[in-house]
Structure 1
Amino acid sequence: MFTMKSVRIARHVSDWLRATTLTAAVAALVFAALAIPASAGPGNTQVSGIGVFNNACQPPAGSPPGDLGDYPPIELSDGGLEGCWYTYVSASKFNPSGTYIEQGTEIFVGCLNGTKCGTFETTYTFTAKYVDETFAEELHGRCHHPIVGGTGDFATATGVILFKDDVVNLKFNYRGHISL
């Protein structure tokens, strides 16, 4: 016989299993990205640097897209990529625990090491933890961005860029690799 207490326990266990499965999937994705060797292919270039929100971001080459995205552009500098990063959200979910997951696409317009210029597109998954549903205070966050296409010198680009939020200094540390 089922009681209200047993139904609540079953729901709690189900919610816990769903959250645990999501956390494990995200962790596996991050570990898989970290396991990609530095010599993933010919023409592989390691990048790392800093990004900051900048409404006035102007790419060093090319033009911003007509739609600047769902967030202010992120200006990337100091580490290989110089240009503007535009984000387009396709799905998001905030959980009562304060965890947040977001998915979508992005466009980078700019240059690699000041010599190879064009655009590349990524898909992304962002995961974060917030104090509450107001998004007023982020505790930590990170993003995984596989490159899925490009133009100009990035027409054949492959690779992955990882972002980690610096919630104290309000910047995004990025690292990854691009193969042309």
Structure 2
Amino acid sequence: MRAHRVASITAALTALTFAILAMPTTAGTTQISAVGVFNDACQPPIGTPPANLGDYPPIDLSGSLVGCWYTYVSASRLNPSGTYIEQGTELFVGCLNGTTCGTFETTYTFTGKYTDATFTEEIHGRCEHAVVDGTGDFAGVKGAIKFKDDVVNLKFDIRGHISLGSSDAKTATAVAQDLAKALEADGTTRSSGC
């Protein structure tokens, strides 16, 4: 009986090893480079715009990210000196490099300087975005994206990176769960340790 269990465990571990080795590697981190401009008529290349378009006009992105960026302000502070800080969430609907499509959400902090406390003229501004969640091909996405305001040309220069979620990790988990079920059915269980 013990020899049968050892053979079952060995066969199961061998199968798990080959299954993991046969899986494709993850997509890794992708560098982002894009340009954005405010565009009330922005239409994402996939899906539809959200019902709530946000607190600013949508930002139309072109470059490695193509789509529409929607901003939802949750807090802001304008100081008498003209410095401004804003925080909130955002939604991107579109594609990465024309092949990876869906949506992702960010949390952001914008800091800028204006000539005075009436927003008369922006001197400079930048925004940092932490990518926190996604749908479609962006499920499981993480990353960081920075916008730098080009106040002369009225555009946003966008740089950053995202790491796509890996279906490989999900597959490896499923294989490991199948192995655990097979061992449990065979009566071989572990209570702790390696």
TM-score range, shorter chain: 0.7 to 0.9
- 2:46 maps to 1:73: no
SS in 2 for 1:59: coil
Q: Counterpart of 1:175?
A: 159
Instruction: Supply the AA of the counterpart residue of 1:95.
Output: N
- 2:65 maps to 1:89: no
Q: Counterpart of 1:100?
A: 84
Question: Runs (4+) of structure 1 moved beyond 6 Å?
Answer: none
Instruction: Find the partner of 2:138 among 122, 142, 154.
Output: 154
Identity %: 75
SS in 1 for 2:51: coil
Q: Counterpart of 1:43?
A: 28
Task: State the Cα distance separating 1:42 from its structure 2 match.
Answer: 5.1
Task: State the Cα distance separating 1:77 from its structure 2 match.
Answer: 0.3
Q: Cα deviation per residue 1:117-171 (whole Å; 9 max; x = unaligned)? A: 0000000000000011221200000000000101000011000110000000000
Task: State the Cα distance separating 1:96 from its structure 2 match.
Answer: 1.2
Unaligned runs of 5+ in 2: 1-25, 165-194
Q: Counterpart of 1:139?
A: 123
Unaligned runs of 5+ in 1: 1-40
Aligned length: 139
Q: Counterpart of 1:124?
A: 108
Normalising by structure 2, we get a TM-score of 0.70
Normalising by structure 1, we get a TM-score of 0.76
Instruction: Find the partner of 1:61 among 46, 69, 81.
Output: 46
Structure showing greater radius of gyration is: 2
Instruction: Supply the AA of the counterpart residue of 2:148.
Output: K
Aligned Cα root-mean-square deviation (Å) = 1.0
